[in-house]
Each structure stands twice: as C-alpha cells, then as structure tokens.
Amino acid sequence: MSTLRFHALKETYNHKPVPVEEKHRRSEIFGANVFNEETMRQYVTSEAFESVRDAIKNGAKIDRAVADHVSTGMKEWAISKGATHYTHWFQPLTGATAEKHDAFFEPTDGGRAIEKFGGGQLVQQEPDASSFPNGGIRNTFEARGYTAWDPTSPAFVFGTTLCIPTVFVAYTGEALDYKTPLLRALQAVDSAAVAVCKYFDKNVRKVNASLGWEQEYFLIDSGLAMSRPDIMLTGRTLLGHSSAKGQQLDDHYFGTIPNRAMAYMRDLETECMLLGIPVKTRHNEVAPNQFELAPIYDEANLAVDHNSLLMDVMDKVAERHHFKVLFHEKPFAGVNGSGKHNNWSLGTNTGVNLLSPGKTPMSNLQFLTFFINTIKAVHENEELLRAAIASASNDHRLGANEAPPAIISVFIGDQLTKTLNELENVTDGKLSPQEKTDLKLNVVGKIPDVLLDNTDRNRTSPFAFTGNKFEFRAVGSKANCANPMTVLNTIVANQLIEFKAEVDALIDKKEMKKDDAIFNVLRDYIKKSKTILFEGNGYSEAWEKEAKKRGLSNNKTTPEALKAKVSKQTIAMFERLGVMNAIESESRYEIEMEEYMLRIQIESRVLGDIARNHVVPTAVRYQNILIENVKGLKEIYGTSFKTLAQEQLNLIEDISGHIKGINSKVTEMIEARKTSNNIANLEKKANAYCNKVKPLFEEIRYHCDKLELLVDDELWPLTKYRELLFTK
C-alpha cells in the first residue's frame, strides 16, 4: 500500500466513535435554541408579539418601533443562550448558505461597552454582496443588494451566533436568493387554493404548502476523503475501479447502523432538536456507507430553511466525528446515488390535508379537485419541473438505472387510475340526478377505502402519489429544495386559477350547478393530461420509447433541461403570478447555466491532474519494476527468457496502451476546454462543456480504472473504492 493510502487508512483507526452526551429527553430540548412563538412571548411586549404574529399569519408590515422591541428581546434571549454575535442568514444562489457575523458588542464613552442590537439591524442589512451570483442583475457597481428579515421563519442560535433568516434582494427589487421567489410562490398557491376551497368550505382562509424532505448522504472517513483530490474538490470520485463487493448483497439497506455512524447521527439529532428541526427517522440506505435522515413535514418555507440549515449542521457535526459528508448525487460509480425526496401537500387553516381523501363525497370531490389539478399542472409543465431539478451532479443520477428517469411522469396507483377512468366518462354537460348519485357514491365516495391499499408504491416514478401527498423523487440530494418547491407551488397555483376560471365560466354561462361544472372541468382535465400518468417501470427502455411517443420530454443533460426556465410560457407564468419577473427568470437561467459549465470545468481539470500526475507516474513506476524483472530473467535465462517473461511483457504493453490512452484523451480534453472557453455565448459554452468535454471523462476514467487493476496495490496512491465504502 502506498504511504499516502497507508497513512490515511491508519488514521481511521484513531477515529473511534465520539462519546455523545445525552442528558435530556429529546422533547425537552426541542426548539431550545429557537426564538419561537413561546419564547418570543416571554421576551417581547404583548403588543410587539401580536404584531409579529400578524406579520407571520397575514403578511402585515412590522413597524420600526415594534422591530426595536423585538430586536431587544431577541438579543436578551440570544445572549442568555451564549450568543455574542448576530448574522442575517440567507440562501444566495451559490447553493450554500451565507452569513456575515457582527458582534452585539459596541463601545461607549469612557472606554466601556454595551451589547446592542436595534430594530434596524434586525430588519435590514447590507452585505457586501457583489460577489454572489446575480446573473447580471447587479452588473453596475452602484447596484447593491440587501437582506431583509423573514419573520415567518424563526431566528435561532447556532454556536455563539444569533441567526436571523432573511431574504436577499437587489435594491432594484429583484430577488438574489432562493427564498424570495419561494415565498412569492407560496403566497400564490395560498390565494389560488383558498379560492378553490371556497367551493367546498367557506371557512377556509389560508392554505399552506407542506414539505417533508428525505435527505440521503454518504458518510466517509475524513482522512480517506482528504486523500482523494477529486472528493475534496468536486465532492465525488472521478475515477476508481468498483469494489469486488458493492451493494449486490443488499446487506446495507435498513441494516444495523455502524457504531461510528450512529454516534454521529445521535450528535446530529441533538443539534437538530436544539434548532427545532423535527428529525424523526434515520436508516441505512442501499449503498455501503449511505444513510438517510428525514424530519416530520412542516410548512414549506420553514422546511426549506431547515433543510439548508441541516446541511450546514451535518458538515459541522461531521468534523467532530472525523467524517466527511458527501451530499453529491453520485459520489461513486456502480453503487446507488443520493436523492432528496420532496414530499409535498397542501393543508388548510381548518386542518384539512387537501391531498388526503376525506370521509364524505364532498370532501372527496375536493380531494379529487386538488389531485387532478396537480396532475394537470405537472403535465403542462413537465419540462419546467425537470429544469427545477437540473444540475451537473443530478445529471449523473437521473436516468442512471437506480434513480428516477429524466422523463417526468406521475404515478397514482391502480385504484386512483380506475377512479380517473370512471370520471373520464362523466356526461358532457349537466348530470342527471341519478348520474350524480352514482358518481358520488360509487366513484368519489369510495376513494378512502381504496386508498388504504395504495401501498404498492412505484419506486421508479419521479413524481408519485403516496396516499396523502405527492412525492417529488427526482430532486437531488445536494439541491436547495426551494427551487423545486417554487416551481411546484407556482405551477399548481397557476393551474388552480385556471380551474376556478373555467368552473365559474360554466356556472355563469351554461347555468350549471357547481358540482356539474366541477365534474365537467375535471373530466376534461383527465382527458388532457392522461399522457403524464405512468404506472410501469420508469427505469425501462420501453418507457423511454413510450414516453417519446406520448410527446413527453426526456432532457438528459442540464443545458438541455434548463431551457424550459426561459420559455415564453414559463416567463409569462412566473410574471403573471408575481413569483419572478422576466429579469429574474433570465438571470437564474444564466446563473445555473454558468454554474453547470464551471462544475464540469473544475471536474475536467481535477481529472486531468489526477490522471496525468497521479495515475500515469504510478503506472510508469510499476512498469519499470516489470522491465527490471524482464531484464533479470533475460540475464539469467538468456534466449529462452521469453516463455518465462511473456506475462510480464504483456503487462508492460498493456500498461503502455493505457498510458497512451490517458495521455491522448487528456490532451484532447484540454483542447476541448480551450475551444469551449473561447465561446462567448454562455449557452453554447455550457453545451460545449456538456457535449465535447464531459464525454472524455469516461474514456479517461476507463484507462485509469484498468491501470488500478494492473498496478501493484503497494504503489497505488489513490484510496480505493473498497476502502472508501467499507471503512466504518
């Protein structure tokens, strides 16, 4: 074993499970570091408290005097929790969270100091934000951005810092972060859904979108991870021959959690509890050293913040345990990648889950309304949904044979398929009383019984109905959930508005009763959006062909997929619903396209470096050993040496062949990069990286992985798959 690998592996033996202190019941520490309603009530005047509640519930503005009260209370509380600094915490389009810490401390006259935190500092800050991605929104030097308090997501103390969740916008008003469009989309779906709910229940005043994410990740010993330049710089392995044992025995999924990983998880869960992140389940995933963590679902904005925060916390806690968390969607070839299922639903202030069948025909008609409208929204915006989950890293997963395909389709289960088929045959126009009774009793009325056995979940579907929610499974493990959640809630809002208009028109013009009108429009929607429904194996080739026939898109790469973000239809929809204006849509497209290009560029450089500077020299060294051996044989055996040295001679030639393969392909890749870099148009440049640079990765890797099998293990410098995946 090479000294590098030896030391990396040796170090793992020092990495024993860290003892975790557990003094509390989880319920006692839950939310202890969160400035939630209960805490706020203790620290601010009741007037200020009501004002913030009004802002949370109804989006009312908070005036300056109130902000001063709140900030003072928040500061006192934060200091009692050990905080010395505060920060506006936000989610710029880099994918990471951002924070800039300021101390409460302020000097006063006479050489003394006080702790200070005013309303102004709570409400608004101006980070020096010129180096966050903005896609041309703030291209002039005087244009600045600011962060503004989002009272709907409570402040929290992490470490010694009070963190205040904020939006990040340009002075010209354009959003520069993930949260702003999400909040607007949630507002849009709220008002559109409330309007539709009124058909069924006049008491509905508020509809909240809910999100329950499931975070998958790999946990790798930090020493081993650090010995791999590809993992350190790109978050994944760019080469490495698969381990003799991988996941073929299916012995990791739901298996016993290894001790070290368990200690990490318990520590992580304690941190989550303190931060009010309601993590509930943990288990091993399919691949070795792969795990999953999921909370109880929450209001979507809060759930998105929690997921972003969680990813930070996971990194930090991992340091204590000498682990490196890999969030990348495909860190290892040949074993499963990671995703982040987004479970989504809509719930009313009256306590009804709109995607859960009810007890009466009327509530089931409401369920069907939201169910069918969601299907239609997905049908009409399938390319946009695909775009919402597009990234260089997720491209490896979508369409690979263990993950949802790049084709978006909806799985609903046998029973609901039957229900929709029956609804499709509803009479055009007014229904006879008999028909209505039939429908209500036999179709709509039977849904709840039916759903109990809707357990046969199709794991290959990218968007599946699972009894009381939809599960968007194609989201990447590394992604910020805000992006897919913004799109999903926007398209559903858009669809509900259209639905309401159509139903109202039928009631007005054709003098139909409300129920008749609803049935008629739903029937029409089923007909129109049927092609998006698919119950079969989403991983099969047959589906790819079938989907093509149905006219569904199959955008396999990010540059292809992203285009849907700037289609006329998308831009107009986002604008109409007030979620993003054209500038915001276009700038995001640019940012993501550029990010894609840069990621491939970095990977390409790293791969070129490893192949040329690690793999080739090692192969040459081993080849020299073989040459010495052959020379020795010749010296001893003279002309008859050949029979004895044949295998060595073959190896020498094989190694030369692979060295040649690597060198010529790396040269080709460098040339392709140069050509791509000279392209001024961003879209063309990203496409060149995708179609000219990236395909060479596989070819270079092929030769490197072959060499890994040939070269003496003692010389091989890179930590191998079996070491990365099976060290516990």
Report the nearest approach of ligand ADP to the CB of residue 20 (Å).
Answer: 24
Beta carbons of 180 and 249 less than 8 angstroms apart: no
What's at 266, amino acid-wise? R
Restricted to residues 666-725, the positions that interact with ligand ADP (CB under 6 A) are none
Beta carbons of 476 and 311 less than 8 angstroms apart: no
Name which of 235 and 358 has its Cβ closer to ligand ADP: 358
String of contacts with ligand ADP for each residue 184-223, x by CB under 6 A = --------------------------xxx-x---------
Residue 505 binds ligand ADP (CB under 6 A):
no
Which residue bears the tokens 């991988």? 246
Name which of 477 and 623 has its Cβ closer to ligand ADP: 477
Size of the residue set binding ligand ADP (CB under 6 A)? 16
Largest interatomic CA distance in the chain: 105
Least Cα distance to 300 among 261, 346, 262 occurs for: 346
Name which of 138 and 473 has its Cβ closer to Mg ion: 473
User: What is the Cα–Cα distance from 462 to 455, expressed in whole angstroms?
Assistant: 17
Least Cα distance to 292 among 486, 153, 94, 473 occurs for: 473
Stretch that binds ligand ADP, among 229-237, 288-296, 619-627, 656-664 (CB under 6 A): 288-296
Options 200, 323, 344, 519; binder of ligand ADP; rule CB under 6 A: 344
Secondary structure element (H or E) that encloses residue 106, with its range: strand 105-107
Q: What is the dihedral of CA 167, 173, 174, 178, to 10 degrees?
A: 10
Per partner kind, with CB cut-offs from 5 to 8 A, the member of Mg ion, ligand ADP, none near residue 623 is none
List, in order, residues 6 or more apart from 231 with CB less than 8 Å away.
Answer: 220, 225, 237, 324, 326, 331
Options 215, 343, 363, 460; binder of ligand ADP; rule CB under 6 A: 343
Per partner kind, with CB cut-offs from 5 to 8 A, the member of ligand ADP, Mg ion, none near residue 610 is none
User: 3-state class of 463 per DSSP?
Assistant: strand
- CB nearest ligand ADP: which residue? 212
Name which of 215 and 494 has its Cβ closer to ligand ADP: 215
Helices 514-529 and 414-424 cross at an angle (nearest 10°) of 120
Name which of 30 and 726 has its Cβ closer to ligand ADP: 30
Options 294, 518, 583, 696; binder of ligand ADP; rule CB under 6 A: 294
Per partner kind, with CB cut-offs from 5 to 8 A, the member of Mg ion, ligand ADP, none near residue 135 is none
Report the nearest approach of ligand ADP to the CB of residue 577 (Å).
Answer: 22
Name which of 236 and 341 has its Cβ closer to ligand ADP: 341
Per partner kind, with CB cut-offs from 5 to 8 A, the member of ligand ADP, Mg ion, none near residue 212 is ligand ADP
Count other Cβ atoms within 10 Å, centred on residue 711. Answer: 22
Beta carbons of 33 and 157 less than 8 angstroms apart: yes
CA 12 from centroid of its chain's CA atoms? 30
User: What is the Cα–Cα distance from 182 to 581, expressed in whole angstroms?
Assistant: 13
Name which of 212 and 240 has its Cβ closer to ligand ADP: 212
Stretch that binds ligand ADP, among 177-185, 250-258, 295-303, 419-427 (CB under 6 A): 295-303
Options 86, 217, 297, 596; binder of ligand ADP; rule CB under 6 A: 297
Report the nearest approach of ligand ADP to the CB of residue 469 (Å).
Answer: 4
Report the nearest approach of Mg ion to the CB of residue 405 (Å).
Answer: 17
46-84 burial, b at 16+ Cβ within 10 Å, e below that, comes to: eebbebbeebbeeeeebeeebbbbbbbbbbebbeebebe
User: 3-state class of 281 per DSSP?
Assistant: strand
What's at 219, amino acid-wise? L
Q: Can you point out the beta strands (E) in 340-429?
A: 340-348, 410-411
String of contacts with ligand ADP for each residue 301-340, x by CB under 6 A = ----------------------------------------
Residue 452 binds ligand ADP (CB under 6 A):
no
User: What is the Cα–Cα distance from 417 to 454, expressed in whole angstroms?
Assistant: 11
String of contacts with ligand ADP for each residue 468-497, x by CB under 6 A = xx----------------------------
Options 232, 296, 501, 627; binder of ligand ADP; rule CB under 6 A: 296
Beta carbons of 231 and 261 less than 8 angstroms apart: no
User: What is the Cα–Cα distance from 123 to 119, expressed in whole angstroms?
Assistant: 6
Least Cα distance to 662 among 699, 627, 625 occurs for: 699
Q: Based on DSSP, count helices (H) and strands (E) in the chain, helices before strands.
A: 27, 17
- CB nearest Mg ion: which residue? 341
Report the nearest approach of ligand ADP to the CB of residue 89 (Å).
Answer: 23
CA 317 to each of CA 99, 323, 726: distance values in angstroms, whole numbers, following the listed order: 18, 9, 21
Residue 404 binds ligand ADP (CB under 6 A):
no
String of contacts with ligand ADP for each residue 453-472, x by CB under 6 A = -------------x-xx---
The residues of the shown chain that bind Mg ion, judged by CB under 5 A, are 341
Which residue bears the tokens 């930070």? 312
Per partner kind, with CB cut-offs from 5 to 8 A, the member of Mg ion, ligand ADP, none near residue 210 is ligand ADP
Q: Contact residues for ligand ADP (CB under 6 A)?
A: 210-212, 214, 294-297, 341, 343-345, 353, 466, 468-469
